[in-house]
Amino acid sequence: MGNDYLKNIGRRLRLVRSIFNEGKKLSTEQFAHLLGESRDNIANYELARASVPARVLIELYRRGINPTWVLTGDGDIFANNSQGKQRRKLLKEHNIDLNGIKQMALVEFEEHKEVKVLKVAAGKIKNRGS
C-alpha cells in the first residue's frame, strides 16, 4: 500500500477525531478508548505508520462515520445510519463548519509530522553520545 494512500487515510481519520465530540476534538487517547484501540495504534493510523484495520472501520461506522470516506475520501463523511444523521445534526446545531475543520486538520497533520521528525532526530543524537 502506498504511503500517500495511508497519509490520506490518516488525515481523514484525524479529521474525524477533530469533530467526534459534537464538533470538538478528542485527544488521541480519548478517541482510542471510544474505538477500543490503544493510543499508539490510533497515532500509527493517523501518521501513516499502519493501515486502519477493518475492526476500526466497523466501529467508526457504528458511531456514524462512513468507512468508504475514511478509506477513499469519496462520498459523505457521515454514514447513512441513525448515528451518522445524529452527528450531522449536532454539527449543524453547533454551527460547525466542516470545510474549515478539514483545512485545520490538514495543517495540524503537517505540523505534527514535523514534530515527530524532530523527536526522532533528537533521539538519534542522544543515542550517539551514549
The mean per-residue pLDDT over the stretch 19-47 comes to 93
Q: Where are the alpha helices (DSSP H) in 1-97?
A: 3-19, 28-35, 39-46, 54-62, 67-72, 82-93
Residue 23 in grid coordinates: 464538533
**End-to-end Cα, the chain, rounded Å:** 37
Residue 29 lies in domain: 3-129
Q: Is the pLDDT of residue 124 over 90?
A: no
- Here the cell at position 57 is 472501520
Asked whether the predicted pLDDT for residue 127 surpasses 60, the reply is: no
Q: Which helix (H) or strand (E) holds 11?
A: helix 3-19
Q: How many CB atoms lie within 10 A of CB 19?
A: 23
Domain total of the chain = 1
